[in-house]
Structure 1
Amino acid sequence: MKLFSRRPITELAFAPPDPRPGRDGVALALIVRNEERHIGEWAAFHRAAGVSHVYVYDNGCTDRTIAHLRDGLGGSLTVMPWDQKLFDAGTGREIHNQVLAYAHALRNFGGLYRWMACIDADEFLVPKRADSIAAALAHLGDVPSVTLPWHNFGRNGHVQPPKGGVLSNYTHRAADPISGARGVTNFKTIVDATRVTGLKVHSYQVDGRAVTWNDRGQAAANKARGSRDFYSADHLQLNHYYTRSETELAAKIARGSNQRVAAERHAARVRRNVANIEAEEVEDRCAIDFLRRVGASHSVAL
């Protein structure tokens, strides 16, 4: 019983919000802590991709992360203080702070929008053909949940942080996004919050069912979304910059895991993941191509 009580609570259920009149567009929810180096580029990219609003959960930032977000997003930004650790009083189990943030965003703000995505500062939602995220999903009709697999980028040969932005300096990724046990496969999901009834960090229940769709409109159970038949990035791709330069990778390892994992085990896992990402790479310039497609006025660190 003692071992069980140490496991954090990582899944929540709740009543979805009611749809608001005239709801439309795409909103993002993001939990951050000290991301000032790259957060301006993240904000500018998603503004160019047509995001209506960003809800930022400030997990104790002590640098200029929030200032850069305000500069980049202006009135399209809401900041929530979120520096906390909450526990179930009966068992002592910690309630996963990221899951709490996502549930709060979906329940309190999700009814305003057609789509909401809860992503991280190292993740970019890239329209492949359309000029916005909303347009990339328009063909899906009333589909309530779209799951996107990580497309993982590694160090790209950089020892020190290069001049310029992430998108222009990191253009090679793991060749196979669905690479099984040796890979670094995970997902993020864009949802209609008014139909979400439960969530984890990387998956949702909609209408009480653990089911999702790909960006072609093909349905699958959440547990089957890692199959090759389900994989799709035809319309929208999730770029995950798992690491950047070697210096930034070392800092990532030094920060430790957001779970209760021994430092040595965490470091070995991260290094193994990077090795798998970099074992076979392909060039991928879809983020740069998108920015050029929407015009020079939206260029981001190119």
Structure 2
Amino acid sequence: MADDQNTLDTPLSYDEIIDTRGLRVPFVQNIITPNIEKPLRNGRYEAGELRHLQSLLKPDDRLLDLGGGLGLVAATASKLTPEGEILSVEAHPGLLPMIREVWRLNNVDNAELKHGLIANTAGAAAKFYARTDFWASSAEPHSRPFVDEYDVETLGLDALIHAFRPTIISCDIEGAEEALFDGLDLSGVRAIVLETHPKVYGVQARDTLLDTLKVKGLAARPQPRPTTVYVLERYPDWPPQNPRTLLATCMKDEGPFILEWLAWHKAIGITDIVVFSNDCTDGTDALLDHLDARGDLTHLPNPASQFGSGYFQPSALNYVQTMPVFRAADFMLSIDVDEFVNIRTPEGTLQSLLARVPPFDVLSISELNHGSNDQTSFRPGWVTDQFPAHASPHPGRWRAKVGVKSLTRLSDRIEKVRNHRPDLAVPPEDAIWLNGSGKPITALAEDATENGLDSRGARDLVSLEHFALRSIDSFLVKAWRGDVVIKGKQVSNAYFRRRNRDSHREMDLSKGQSLARLVYAEFEQDAELMKRHDACNKAHQDRIDALNADPAYRARRAEIVNIAAEQKTPPPAKGTDGDIQSS
């Protein structure tokens, strides 16, 4: 493509080519000074901007590159936009031949270069101040000494946008971006990669700039760490209205607890529920079959059972991701029947949660364990009524890390959904991963084996209420049944000890309960459904009675009761051995 020529262009002299991030760059020593050379050689120069563009660009995109620099942005974009075009604007006259040479070495054939300063609208020629390090050159003379000055034409961004019609803008113009986008029509722009310079114009002006772009529909991606480079994207469908959210789970002998859990999650806005069951003895499968016939959920046999595998949960999650309901979903969540998603907004719904967080790939919800609440015997009824007390929601550092379950936004950025968190199809640094307070986090993205999170300050908007124990008798049924995830895995006394925390009552469950009772009231109108529910309650109690007739289980029950009593006993006073001290 044709580009501007400039009489200040001078022939380049170099005898080495540097390879950086797959690009060839001539080592011109008066341009690539030591401050630039090292990061260029190790691939760190402009790495953030280039990585962001690689995650954004599509083959037919039109990139407007404001601040061409060495030409690396355009050269990278050229490889990613074979059907698109690139317009690069650079104010420094000494860089124009360098850009052209970089483009020649990298076979860039879909880019145009313009020489000029960038302003909101076109104006008279203005001074440009060149400095020893080209990246420090700018249109302001006061920040540091300059070695030369030039009169450079001022190009209007309004005219460039109108003529070129960019879909993506990359902007790094050393502070001139402060009021650059004011009043401009950016409706055709899908994303901007913006280098801000608060040292030039201040933090308040930077925030005003970001707010200006947000009003124009371009919202900054959440940043887990302080940065000067922002990716602003247009999310025309955020928050999505009436999203389809898929919940997948496995069940075995959970009959007494299904209807409350189902009512709760339907009430908060879960639209599609798929339940896989195996080896049920308490009527769980019959209850699920009736709910399937009613259209409340989809009930399937666990595929692991069909193929002789003991990996029940992994098999089920793999299978559900082949189903049409998965392809139709906007979000997916994998939780167990003893886990309740407690949305802490005034409305208590999934829709209200989405409205309070920025667009994300993953939102990981920290569990909060509810102990046995001094309940030894099984009583039919709602677990959220019977077991309201829980572990501290503000733990110290040593108990802060807890398990998570993740609300995953389904897109080509996600490779696979797993029980606690998904696998990513994008580099970890490009993922938008939030905690339950809507704050950006990095730990789970950076470590694909990590399933837990520091829960401090992570439950402001949503928490995962985990009723892993229920009563002691129900816990013993769970221990008899075995783990629902992997066949043969046992539930130990240590499991009870770790989760029997019920010294706090700060978490409010009332909004979820009030919504769920409306759904549950409709369930109660179905006589056959309630008959099957009652049969599950009876089967659960019968199992408890049978276990308590077994001397081994009676002994274990006594052990659990003792553990619970010990946990209620205050620790000895500091400086004593626990004995009562005489006065």
TM-score by length of 1: 0.75
**What is the CA distance between 1:165 and its match in structure 2?**
1.0
Aligned residues of 1:291 and 1:299 also touching (Cα < 8 A): no
Matched, 1:289 2:289: no
Residues 143 and 213, structure 1, Cα contact 8 Å, conserved in 2? yes
Partner of residue 203, structure 1: 421
Displacement of 1:186 in angstroms is 0.9
Structure 2 unaligned segments of length 5 or more: list them.
1-240, 524-583
Deviation at 1:86, TM superposition (A): 8.2
Q: Is the 8 A contact 1:54 1:78 kept in 2?
A: yes
**Which segments of 5 or more consecutive residues in structure 1 lack a partner in the other structure?**
1-21, 89-93
Distance 1:25 1:52 in 2: 6
* Cross-structure match for 1:214: 435
For residues 459 and 275 of structure 2, the distance between their equivalents in structure 1, rounded to whole angstroms, comes to 26
Say whether 1:150 aligns with 2:367.
yes
Identity percentage of aligned residues: 20
Contact 1:31 1:98 in 2 (8 A): yes
1:248 paired with 2:474, answer yes
Counterpart in the other structure of 1:96 = 311
Structure 2 Cα separation of the partners of residues 33 and 136 of structure 1: 31
Distance 2:264 2:489 in 1: 35
Q: Name 1:3's counterpart in structure 2.
A: none
Between 194-203 and 39-48, the greater mean CA deviation after superposition: 194-203
Do structure 1's residue 27 and structure 2's residue 253 form an aligned pair? Answer: no
Two-structure CA RMSD over aligned residues (Å): 3.3
CA contact (8 A) 2:333 2:406 kept: yes
Summarize the Cα distance change of 1:97–1:179 in structure 2 as closer, same or farther, 3 Å threshold. farther
**Cα offset, 1:199, TM superposition:** 4.4
- C-alpha displacement of 1:71: 5.1
Higher relative contact order (CA 8 A, sep 6+): 1
* Equivalent in the alignment of 1:271: 496
2:386 maps to which residue? 169
Cα deviation for residue 87 of structure 1 reads 8.2
Q: CA deviation at 1:29?
A: 0.6
**Contact 2:264–2:512 at 8 Å: present in 1 too?**
no
Aligned equivalents of 1:237, 1:33: Cα separation in 2: 24
* 1:79 and 2:327 correspond: no
Once the two structures are superposed, what CA deviation does each residue of 1:163-212 show, in whole Å capped at 9, x if it has no partner? 42111111100114766665782111111233321344322122244563
Partner SS, residue 256 of structure 2:
coil
Post-superposition Cα deviations, 1:16-67, rounded to whole Å, max 9, x if no partner, equal xxxxxx9823221111112111111111111211211111112233433244
3-state SS of the aligned residue for 2:372? coil
Matches of 1:142 and 1:110, distance apart in 2: 20
Q: Which residue identity does 2:243 align to in structure 1?
A: D
Q: Secondary structure at the match of 2:375?
A: coil
Per the TM alignment, residue 296 of structure 1 is displaced from its structure 2 partner at its CA by 6.0
Alignment partner of 2:356: what SS? helix
1:119 is matched by which residue type in structure 2?
A: I
Range with greater deviation from structure 2 (235-244 or 137-146): 137-146
2:266 matched to 1:47?
yes
Residues 249, 28 of structure 1: alpha-carbon distance in 2 compared, 3 angstrom cutoff:
same
Deviates more, 1:145-154 or 1:25-34: 25-34
On the 8 A contact 1:178/1:227 being kept in 2, the answer is no
Give me the whole-angstrom Cα distance separating, in 2, the residues matched to 1:116 and 1:199. Answer: 8
Q: How many corresponding residue pairs?
A: 268
Cα deviations by residue, 1:270-289 (Å, 9 ceiling, x for unpaired) = 233135x24xx211452223
Per the TM alignment, residue 81 of structure 1 is displaced from its structure 2 partner at its CA by 1.5
